[in-house]
Every structure is written in C-alpha cells, then in structure tokens.
Structure 1
Amino acid sequence: MAARSEVLFLGGRAGVGKTTVGHEIHQFLSAAGVRHCLIEGDNLDQAYPPPWEHGLAERNLAAMWANYRALGYRRMIYTNTVSVRFTADLTAAMGDDPAVTAVLLTAADPTAHQRLQIRETGTGLAHHISRSDLMARDLDRNTPAWVHRIPTDGRPVTGIATEIITLTGWTTAQV
C-alpha cells in the first residue's frame, strides 16, 4: 500500500512571503532528497471575471495532484492566501485523505506594504495594499485555531522555512 499523502498549506496576506517561503522550503527539501511538489494555488484560478464560484482551483488541483500521485509524489506544498481556511475543500479535491499541516504566515502592515512596493511596480499597488490589509484582518478572525501562526516580520526566510519544515516532519526522504 502506498504511503499516506501529506500536504503543507501556506496561507497569509499578500506581501507576507508565502511564495518566497514556499520556494525556500522547496530548496531545502530538494537538497535533502525529500520527494515533494510545490503548487502555487493562486495560479489555479487566476482569471477575470473570478471563477471562484465554479470551484476551478479545486478542479485544477485535483487534476494536478492526480498527475503527481501517478508519478509517485506523496508530499505537496500548496501556497495560497486563503488555503488555511479551506483545507477541507482542498484536501477533498486531492482525493486521498492527506495528513495536513497548515501555517498562516503573518506580517504587520508596514512590513507587508514594504514588500508589496518592491513586488508590485505597476498600477495595481494601491489595490494590492488595500486587499492585503483587508485579508490580514479576515484571516486573523476566520482561520481555525489549530492552524499554526508564524510571523515573518524581520526574520530571514531560511529561519521561517526551517521552522515550518520542523512542523511537517519532512526532514527525511519518504519511501
């Protein structure tokens, strides 16, 4: 019988460092020979008008995960702003009852704003800052208590990634 799947959900407001931390975890696990995949959840339903009501992200995740599973992958890092609030829907889309670790990355407004100013160089900066601020409050209020909260303010990405990898227990290759 195949080993049980495991998933790490990284959530948090825009500018908190989800993508950067996800990539750092990917680098660390790759160097350690730990088989895994990294999926940037925002790319699974990024369209206009937004297709959220159609479950497109979940449908695309189901298709991608089926392909990874067919190749023997059992561990996934999934980054998306609200993923930590919708773990049941996302794991149902995976279809194989994975063990879940969920982490809400947090950052104060000035930290997130500074990071967004570096990343968003076009006309969308004000919108991204406004949405980030609203989402930070929403995530703080509505994320389940069992989800780990890890601040990113003033911390090196390597330290954050190491802390999260310790939470997952993914420090050894999975058979």
Structure 2
Amino acid sequence: MDQAEVLLIAGRAGVGKTTVGWEVSARLRAAMVAHCVIEGDFMGLAHPAPAGDPRRTKIAERNLTALWSNYAELGYRRLIYTHTVSVLAENEGMFQRALGANVKIIRVVLTASDATARERLTGRERGSELEQELESSARKARILDEQTPPEALRVVTDGRSVLDIAREVVGATGWLPSTSG
C-alpha cells in the first residue's frame, strides 16, 4: 500500500477521542496492522499562540508534516489522528500537504450529550480551566454539528463502552483483515 490513509477522530472535549483512539490502536495492534497514532491537541501547543491564532495552525501543520515524514520513511501508511475539529473540510488541506495529495481521509465524529461531556470533564479537569473547557466543549459541539462533512461517521458515546465504540470506529476504516470466509 503506497497511499497514506488517516483516520480522523474528532469530537467535543470530554467525548473520549484520545481513549477511543488508543483502543482503536490496541485493536489494530492485536491484528498486527501497522499504523501510528498522533494526538493532534499536542501538535500546536505553544505560548503565546491562543486558539484560532494562525501561528498555532501553522506550527501544528509543520509538526504533523515532520512526524508523518518520519513515520512514512519507516514504511507506515496508516495514521490515527485525534483532534477536536480535525474532520472539518477546512482542515483537509493540512492533511493533504502533510501526508500527500492523494491521502485517503476517514472522518469519524464522536458525540456526547452536554451532561455526559460535563461529567467526563469534571472527572478529568483538576485545575482552574474546567469552566472554560466546558464552554469550549459546547461551542465545538455546535461547530461540529453545523460543519462536519456529510460523509463523516457520527458515533454516539453516551452510555457505551470504549470497546464497543472502538469496534464501530475501526470498522469504518476497513483496516482489519476480513474474518469472513
């Protein structure tokens, strides 16, 4: 396989993107499917560069390009990329520039109710930014509802196990060998 493929796992804060991404990776590892994982939230962390600042987008793309170059040089062609709004059409160019113009993009949006997101974030956030994170999560949920391309798979996470969610997400990739005979 020469074509790069990227599984974009998006969703509001508190939806379980990182946890699901790691479980998808575990399923692929168990099946001996070569892949790599990048947590997109870390690609643009720099100060000062607030969210929405073009410098954050530029550094995120440069970091993704550098990491992917290293993976591709070693023969990897599949990437799991988790980031809140990675599935939006406006981000497609970044993945084409970083992974190649003919990259196959698989979009998955994890969803959760406000109550579920609040419960998860309250359990996770330990510092001074909980209220800001809750507001941002709700805002990003609205953006994803309005702007996610129609071909994206939407996966509800409320009341479901990570194993069940990951099974559905990995099924969208076609990356696991067929077990039917």
Specify the TM-score bucket, using the shorter chain as the normaliser: over 0.9
Q: Which range is displaced more, 40-49 or 72-81?
A: 40-49
Instruction: Output the CA distance in 1 between the equivalents of 2:122 and 2:59.
Output: 30
Which structure 1 residue ranges, 5 or more long, are not aligned?
A: none
Match of 2:64 in 1: 61
Match of 1:72 in 2: 75
Match of 1:125 in 2: 130
Secondary structure of residue in 1 paired with 2:87: helix
TM-score normalised per structure 2: 0.90
Instruction: Output the CA distance in 2 between the equivalents of 1:47 and 1:108.
Output: 30
1:90 equivalent to 2:91? Answer no
Match of 2:105 in 1: 100
Cα RMSD for the two superposed structures = 1.5
1:112 equivalent to 2:99? Answer no
Match of 2:12 in 1: 13
Contact 2:95 2:103 (8 Å CA) reproduced: no
Pick aligned residue for 2:172 from 164, 167, 173: 167
TM-fit CA distance, 1:92: 2.1
Matches within 5 A, 1:21-40: 21-40=20-39
Instruction: Output the CA distance in 2 between the equivalents of 1:153 and 1:135.
Output: 17
TM-fit CA distance, 1:99: 1.1
Instruction: Output the CA distance in 1 between the equivalents of 2:106 and 2:177.
Output: 16
Amino acid at match of 2:66: A
Q: Which range is displaced more, 146-155 or 15-24?
A: 146-155
TM-score normalised per structure 1: 0.93
Instruction: Output the CA distance in 1 between the equivalents of 2:127 and 2:8.
Output: 29
Q: What is the aligned residue count?
A: 172
Contact 1:10 1:104 (8 Å CA) reproduced: yes
Please identify runs of 4+ aligned residues in structure 1 that moved more than 4 A: none
Amino acid at match of 1:45: G
Amino acid at match of 1:154: G
TM-fit CA distance, 1:121: 1.2
Instruction: Output the CA distance in 1 between the equivalents of 2:114 and 2:47.
Output: 27
Q: Which range is displaced more, 95-104 or 15-24?
A: 95-104
